[in-house]
Structure 1
Amino acid sequence: MAAGPEVVRMNTSSKPRSRDTKEFKPRITPSRKTKILQVTFAKQVQRMVQVMHEEMGNPFLEETNDLLKLDNKDIVDQAVTTAVCQAVKIGQQQHDDFVTRLKDQSIPISQPIKKNKLSLFSRPPVRVKLQVSTLKSDVSLFSRLYIAASREMVTSVTFSDMKIRHVPHHVSQFGNLRSQGAVRSSCVP
């Protein structure tokens, strides 16, 4: 029998057990399991709120209408913001349609409901083409700069005067700003 390194490590690190010894394992009843899950959830929510207040400030005091991702603080697209704002309305409409369908018995209950194609927190596939074209233009620019520098036609002043993008890549991705409103105003002239 072949085993991977994880299995071998587990077998060698565990102490041998005899069949006579019985280890005491506390039995977790469903009510205790529910309480453990609730306590864990409460701790996770408290940690998330703490991170939000320490790193991002109070999100309810923001004066901007931008929607931020919590994990990387990117400002999401306008389509995502619109989808989040309309999610309740779309869900209510689907619920009403389903209840009507049950009352009228016009459509069988086994027929699936249409999938919502909301663009929530995902980038549209068009951006891949945009990213490839941006990378190609950067490669072209850097190759021209390298050739010019190797021929000693470009001075250090010329290099610093050249503008590669209209917004730096660490602040922008495809022209959409990625940071908070306060940081955005201090970074972009």
Structure 2
Amino acid sequence: MVQLPKTNPETHRAFLEGNFVVNKTEKKFSCMAIDQAHEQNNACVKADGGAVGLTENPGALRRWMVAGPEMARLVNEFENVTECFVNTNASNKLHHEQTLSFQESFRNDIVSLYDVIDDLGNPFLETSKDLLVLDSKNIVDISVVKTVNTIESLGQEQFEKYTKERLVDRTTSVFDTIKRNKLPLFQTPPPAKKTSTTDHKLMALKSNCSLFSRLYIACQSRDGNLDDFFRHENHAFPPSLSQNGTIRLGTKADLLSKCLERLTPPTDVKPVVSFCYS
């Protein structure tokens, strides 16, 4: 392509004139690739129902191949005629972003961004090394900062490894699966800190100590009854039935075994068992 002006000037001139794309309308910046235009033409011929099941019936396939393109041409001509009555030539040549509403929305976004920079300061004058959000000043997690700093070098390293293993050394098949990079991004929530059971118990004891201290002082200053105070449950969940909000599990036989043992007196008499054969 670099030597195309010298090797084939006519092809280079055609490329400069835009003859490598298809323009279906008079709108600017609406050209598409040739293969994409072919796919759109195929979609017009297939219509909404598609070509499902036609390959199994040779007669229906031949009728569809003959009449399908002609029907698509008639529908396309009808749509073009109706659009001429509805739309003007000036609107047909405009891009979909060349409208008053879109330009007004774009202007409002620019003004909003300017207001944020005016209120919170110029982000390019920030001397801190932390990576933060422009409008909220929230500092992102350190793992996200590491991703931003190393993502380019990581991608280059993986590209060189892929080229060497699959194209140069040919030790790995081209069809082998490439491992996904699970890198923390801006929308990735920070990892939750894992706390052990001992930490949960210690936090619960500290919370209970603080709660009972406040309630005990309030009970003394208001002449309350301490027996009534300790009679009621002061937890969000009863510790006898749940642990850290999770209900305790057990076996009913273990709960009733001691009660049944007390009601049943011990005895050394062995029951007589007889076998009956039929």
Q: What is the TM-score normalised by the length of structure 1?
A: 0.46
User: Which one scores higher on RCO, CA 8 angstroms, separation ≥ 6?
Assistant: 1
Higher Cα Rg, which structure: 2
